[in-house]
């Protein structure tokens, strides 16, 4: 005999598993600290590439001035400034990543908890029907 | 309003039924329009500016995830830039790389906004984007919309400098890069539009999340006003010569589109709002429940399934006595045709037979003029014509001696 409530529940759960659930389960398989650490590591790599790209464009744009001032500017101070910018970029992006991933992890966990509750409910519906 | 809601429900049903076809077709059309627009606007690489290639790529996009369209659009634009000048393509690649690495790593779903924004900007109706994004997406849509605006202006800059680039020699590498970068970074119009669209999307998002009546409508109107105001302020500050009339008309159009989106996505009846208050051990709850506006679309209803045996002789064609009826009845259709005049008209439409047994399905078209009691219960009016509903009678008669088509005419009472 078809149990309407059970069918509705199963349909919702399958829909969740197919879409959002897949991603959330992947997130949920990590400890919070591990997940955030991995994401921050990726962010550091990404922000480094972005910084290199932007700095490369900057160098190309100002190559004439740089070549003229190459022997007059303090290269250590220049490198220090560049590294400061790099640090600000990486740290800034890392902080944004930390906030976004913390929120995402909490949401995924909440969502998975709801999903497991539904599983339990489904199990109890099966038990009732027997 | 009821008619509109019925149309909406029907649209929903049609979408639910044919989603498998509608989605690929929509993706195909979007990809086709996007790539054609790119080819039309840039078109420096003649090999890509070919309808066959566009069709093949659009067809590929139709059954792949939406992100692939973004990838193809990026490849197309970079290829056109490369055909113009390698240096310009390098600058374009850097801009795309920065966008993808910094933002789309987090929210690849918003990539659609980055495709739609330049597309609609090219069609001179960009004002729909921030309002629609604010209504349908989260706060991160601000960045997506901004990225879309950057892409649009980058393409415009490339198109603008193309004539100069073509006249430059191959050795003017730095000049070309400088020209492209100056065009993008020093584009005040782009900065003003990014700021205006970001503020608009944020205002729309924040207001539509508020727990006030008509929040979506207020958000749409506030968004349009904010957009116009921000563009005017930007125009005054940076002197970028926006068309005020165009902005007003564009925002009016955006309001109309946003209202349509609201109707499809958030159609509620504030007149029937209920405010309830209750408590449990830990909290007091102040709940505001706003009912959705819905209308039940009349659907076909299967009225009764009969399984009966007839054993009549005479003119009927004889069947083997061992014949067994299949269970599942075929559907017959009986429009509730109350306007037919007099009498009872019966028509047998289908008679299905199978090897050892057979099933006869009788579909009756009955005039209810005389037999009001036989009217089918439907839509609050038994047997009457309804908006679009049809009552259907299915009969599965297992005949052992005669064809159901020749059985006695008084069977109508049994069907009903």
Q: Is the dihedral of CA B22, B24, B26, B29 positive or negative?
A: negative
Say if residue B390's pLDDT is above 80: no
B288 backbone dihedrals φ, ψ, rounded to 5°: -115, 115
What's the confidence (pLDDT) of residue B404? 38
Tokens 């908006």 sit at which residue? B387
Non-local CB neighbours of B24 within 8 Å, separated by 6+ positions: B62, B63
Beta bridge partners of B306: B395
Element (H, E) at B394: strand B391-399
> Per the confidence metrics, is the pTM higher than 0.90?
no
* Residue B141 distance to chain A (closest CA, Å): 14
Question: Which has the closest alpha carbon to B37: B62, B69, B67, B63?
Answer: B69
- Contact check, Cβ <8 Å, A42/B105: yes
- Contact check, Cβ <8 Å, B102/A100: no
Q: Which of A11-15, A86-90, B398-402 has the highest mean pLDDT?
A: A86-90
Interface A-B, measured as beta-carbon pairs within 8 A, has a size of 33
> Domain extents for chain B?
2-267, 298-416
Count of alpha carbons within 13 angstroms of residue B63, beta-carbon side: 5
Non-local CB neighbours of B270 within 8 Å, separated by 6+ positions: B213, B214, B290
Q: Which residues of B88-126 are buried (b: 16+ CB within 10 A; e: fewer)?
A: bbbbbebbbbbbbbbbbebbeebbbbbbbbbbbbbeebb
- Over the stretch B107-160, which tens digit does the pLDDT of each residue have? 777 778 888 888 988 888 889 999 999 998 888 888 889 999 999 999 999 999
Beta bridge partners of B286: B277
Q: Is B393 helix (H, G, I), strand (E, B) or coil?
A: strand
Among the partner residues B94, B101, B105, nearest to A57 by beta-carbon distance: B94
- Over the stretch B181-205, which tens digit does the pLDDT of each residue have? 888 888 888 999 999 999 999 999 9
Instruction: With cut-offs at 50, 70 and 90, classify the pLDDT of residue B17.
Output: confident
- Of all residues in chain B, the one with the smallest CA distance to A54 is B94
Among the partner residues A46, A61, A100, nearest to B177 by beta-carbon distance: A61
Q: In percent, how much of chain B has pLDDT > 70?
A: 72
Q: Which of A18, A40, A41, A60 to mutate to test the interface with B (most CBs of B within 10 A)?
A: A60
CA B108 – CA B11 distance, rounded (Å): 28
Do residues B416 and B302 touch, judged by C-beta distance below 8 A? no
Q: Considering only residues B101 and A88, tell me which one the structure prediction assigns the higher pLDDT.
A: A88
Q: Considering only residues B305 and B74, tell me which one the structure prediction assigns the higher pLDDT.
A: B74
Q: Is B76 helix (H, G, I), strand (E, B) or coil?
A: helix
CB-CB neighbours of B145 under 10 Å:
29
Residues of B in contact with A60 (CB under 8 A): 174, 177-178, 181
Instruction: With cut-offs at 50, 70 and 90, classify the pLDDT of residue B105.
Output: confident
CA B118 – CA B92 distance, rounded (Å): 15
Q: Which of A57, A68, A104 to mutate to test the interface with B (most CBs of B within 10 A)?
A: A57
Q: Considering only residues B349 and B239, tell me which one the structure prediction assigns the higher pLDDT.
A: B239
User: Token pair of A76, please?
Assistant: 């250590």
CA B405 – CA B399 distance, rounded (Å): 10
User: Token pair of B87, please?
Assistant: 């240096």
Residues of B in contact with A63 (CB under 8 A): 174
What's the confidence (pLDDT) of residue B229? 93
Q: Is B113 helix (H, G, I), strand (E, B) or coil?
A: helix
| B276 interfacial to chain A (CB closer than 8 Å) | no
What's the confidence (pLDDT) of residue B355? 39
Q: In percent, how much of chain A has pLDDT > 90?
A: 40
Can you spell out the DSSP letters for B117-143?
HHHHHHTT-TTHHHHHHHHHS-TTHHH
Instruction: With cut-offs at 50, 70 and 90, classify the pLDDT of residue B359.
Output: very low
| B387 interfacial to chain A (CB closer than 8 Å) | no
Answer left, alpha or beta for residue B83, where phi above 0 means left and psi between -120 and 50 means alpha.
Answer: alpha
- Contact check, Cβ <8 Å, B98/A60: no
CA B287 – CA B62 distance, rounded (Å): 43
CA B128 – CA B143 distance, rounded (Å): 16
Q: Considering only residues B171 and B387, tell me which one the structure prediction assigns the higher pLDDT.
A: B171
What's the confidence (pLDDT) of residue A91? 94
């Amino acid at each position: 005999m078809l149990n309407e409530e059970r069918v509705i529940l199963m349909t919702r759960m399958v829909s969740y598993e197919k879409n959002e659930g897949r991603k959330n389960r992947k997130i949920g398989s990590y400890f919070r600290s591990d997940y955030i650490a991995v994401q921050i590591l990726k962010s550091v790599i990404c922000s480094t590439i972005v910084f290199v790209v932007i700095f490369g464009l900057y160098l190309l744009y100002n190559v004439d001035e740089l070549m003229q001032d190459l022997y007059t500017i303090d290269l250590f101070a220049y490198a220090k400034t560049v590294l400061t910018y790099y640090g600000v970029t990486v740290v800034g992006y890392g902080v944004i990543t930390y906030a976004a991933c913390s929120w995402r992890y909490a949401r995924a966990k909440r969502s998975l908890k709801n999903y497991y509750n539904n599983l339990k409910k489904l199990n109890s519906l099966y038990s009732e029907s027997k | 309003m009821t008619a509109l809601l019925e149309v909406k429900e029907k649209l929903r049903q049609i979408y639910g039924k044919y989603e498998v076809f509608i989605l690929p077709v929509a993706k195909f059309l979007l990809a086709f329009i996007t790539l054609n627009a790119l080819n039309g606007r840039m078109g420096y690489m003649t090999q890509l500016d070919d309808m066959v290639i566009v069709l093949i790529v659009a067809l590929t996009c139709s059954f792949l995830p939406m992100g692939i369209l973004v990838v193809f659009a990026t490849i197309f634009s970079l290829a056109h830039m490369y055909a113009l000048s390698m240096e310009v393509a390098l600058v374009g690649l850097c801009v795309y790389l920065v966008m993808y690495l910094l933002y789309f790593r987090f929210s690849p779903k918003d990539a659609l906004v980055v495709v739609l924004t330049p597309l609609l900007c090219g069609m001179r109706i960009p004002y729909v984007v921030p309002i629609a994004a604010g209504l349908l997406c989260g706060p991160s849509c601000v960045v997506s919309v901004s990225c879309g605006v950057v892409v649009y202006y980058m393409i415009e800059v490339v198109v603008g400098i193309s004539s100069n680039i073509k006249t430059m020699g191959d050795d003017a590498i730095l000049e070309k890069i400088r020209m492209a970068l100056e065009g993008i970074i020093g584009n005040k119009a782009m900065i003003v539009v990014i700021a205006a669209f970001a503020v608009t999307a944020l205002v729309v998002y924040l207001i539509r999340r508020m727990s006030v009546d008509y929040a979506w409508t207020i958000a749409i109107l506030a968004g349009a006003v904010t957009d116009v105001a921000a563009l005017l302020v930007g125009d005054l500050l940076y002197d970028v010569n926006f068309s005020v009339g165009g902005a007003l008309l564009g925002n009016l159009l955006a309001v109309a589109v946003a209202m349509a989106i609201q109707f499809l996505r958030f159609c509620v009846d504030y007149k029937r709002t209920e405010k309830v208050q209750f408590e449990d051990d830990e909290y007091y709850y102040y709940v505001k429940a706003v009912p959705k506006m819905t209308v039940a679309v009349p659907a076909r209803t299967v009225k009764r399934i009969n399984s009966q045996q007839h054993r009549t002789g005479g003119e009927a064609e004889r069947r083997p006595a061992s014949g067994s009826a299949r269970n599942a009845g075929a559907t017959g259709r009986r429009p509730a045709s109350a306007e037919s005049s007099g009498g009872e008209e019966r028509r047998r439409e289908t008679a299905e037979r199978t090897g050892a047994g057979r099933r006869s399905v009788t579909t009756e078209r009955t005039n209810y003029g005389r037999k009001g009691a036989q009217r089918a219960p439907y839509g609050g009016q038994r047997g009457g014509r309804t908006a679009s509903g049809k009552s259907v009678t299915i009969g599965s008669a297992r005949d052992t001696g005669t064809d159901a088509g020749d059985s006695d005419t008084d069977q109508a009472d049994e069907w009903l």
